[in-house]
Amino acid sequence: KAGVTQTPRYLIKTRGQQVTLSCSPISGHRSVSWYQQTPGQGLQFLFEYFSETQRNKGNFPGRFSGRQFSNSRSEMNVSTLELGDSALYLCASLDPGQGRNEQFFGPGTRLTVL
């Protein structure tokens, strides 16, 4: 099976712009989670989607949003970008239907906000 893919891998934006990141989970995985990783704050949970519904949510402002499509692909959007949004954004998928809890991570999208 192909692994989790994320596009784009690198992105440079300026303050005030918005950005959309994409994540394609492993085939058959219906849960997708998003994380933000920065040197200062570490790895922080953004949200989790399961079967097109947001199931869990972290403590991020409303500028961060996401969605999941019927094919389980997920997108996250960040509006009105701030310098502090510069980070590695990781998505992870799992298949809870098999009673397994291991998450499979993509390579990440490196976002730089200038």
Partner 1 sequence: SQQGEEDPQALSIQEGENATMNCSYKTSINNLQWYRQNSGRGLVHLILIRSNEREKHSGRLRVTLDTSKKSSSLLITASRAADTASYFCAPNQAGTALIFGKGTTLSVSS
Show the binding pattern over residues 39-78: x = contacts partner 1 (CB under 8 A), - = does not. Answer: ---xx-x--x------xx-x--------------------
What token pair was written down for 16? Answer: 């005030």
- Measured CA to CA, the distance from residue 74 to residue 49 in angstroms comes to 8
Burial of 104 (0-12, 13-18, 19+ CB in 10 A): middle
Q: Which of 35, 36, 72, 95 contacts partner 1 by CB under 8 A?
A: 35
- Measured CA to CA, the distance from residue 26 to residue 108 in angstroms comes to 15
Least Å distance, CB 12 to partner 1, is: 16
Tell me which residues touch partner 1 (CB under 8 A).
4, 33, 35, 42-43, 45, 48, 55-56, 58, 88, 90, 92, 101-108, 110
